[in-house]
Amino acid sequence: MKKIVIIVTFFLFAISYSQKKKDLYLFTSFREPATEGLYLAYSEDGYNWKGLDGSFLKPEIGASKIMRDPSITKGADGTYHMVWTTDWKGGNGFGYASSKDLMHWSKQEYIPVMKNEPEVVNVWAPEIFYDDVKKEYIIIWASTIPFRFEKGVEEEKNNHRMYYVTTKDFKTFSDTKLYYEPGFSVIDCVIVKKGKKEYVLVLKDNTRPMRNIKVAFGKSPLGPFSKSSEPLTKYLSEGPTVVKVGKKWLLYYDNYGSKNYKALSTSDFVHFEDVSSKISLPEGHKHGTITIISEEVLKGLIDKK
């Protein structure tokens, strides 16, 4: 009798496990000239991506009314929060909206994070990260403030540094502070939580001789971070995003010099393997970020179209 109970229990567990709904991967994107808004692609394995037709959110704010570099994260409450670049040049903030299902969005808001810097040239590629330790959101971005830092090899209006704010509710924000000062022009930073008190900052060295992707390490998502690594990618690459698939991390990046996308695989952010031959992305895909969605959310997105 005991043996039968064990067998039945195992059988029921197996059925329950097989019926467990799996998570899927979602990649945010845009299409040039960035006036159409949010494009989305999904994947079951983190390598092969299928595009969803059309735009899911048309940009309505910012002087240029564009949406570039859409960055999204899912909060502890199940809400998706997204930020994006609203202007290629000019402007002192970025766009923000939230959604439960990626179809119905809150009113778009313009967050003027550099309002106290009248000489700011731009606010580029805001990236959102949920800090599950402090239960708050960190938003980082690149801005140029002429003559603020040592000139180096870049002209004054292209000498970027990374800044940040934090928020718990997207209604009140901390004061804007300097986030990362590596001693050179830097943009397109992404925060990755590798483990407890183990964080990786993936960044683009935007100086003319480099324009490639590097990493730095820290014990907190707010740093301080170590000296950046040697380049991981070749000349003219940008827009990194990172997702964990199984036991490996995949680092996607826009290899814009060759007009294609590439990916690296790593378990430690020190040793990398080029897995570009294993990935596929929709034509015209431009860099965004990757998050996790449920089968229900994906079904809603597909049915909407």
Statement: residue 2 has pLDDT above 90: no
Tokens at residue 230, please?
């040697």
pLDDT for 304: 78
Residue pLDDT, tens place only, 259-274: 999 999 999 999 999 9
Query: Percentage of the chain with pLDDT > 90?
Result: 90
**Exposure of 233 in the CB half-sphere (CA atoms within 13 A):** 31
User: What average pLDDT is seen over the chain?
Assistant: 93
167-212: per-residue pLDDT in tens? 999 999 999 999 999 999 999 999 999 999 999 999 999 999 999 9
φ and ψ at residue 158, rounded to 5 degrees? -135, 20
Model confidence, pTM: 0.93
CATH 2.115.10.20 for domain 23-235+285-304? yes
Q: Where are the domains positioned within the chain?
A: 23-235+285-304
Which of 2-11, 64-73, 226-235, 273-282 is least confident? 2-11
**Distance between CA atoms of residues 189 and 191, nearest Å:** 7
The string of DSSP codes covering 115-157 is: TT-TT----EEEEEEEETTTTEEEEEEEEE-TTSS--TTS-GG
**Residues 77/58, Cβ–Cβ less than 8 Å:** no
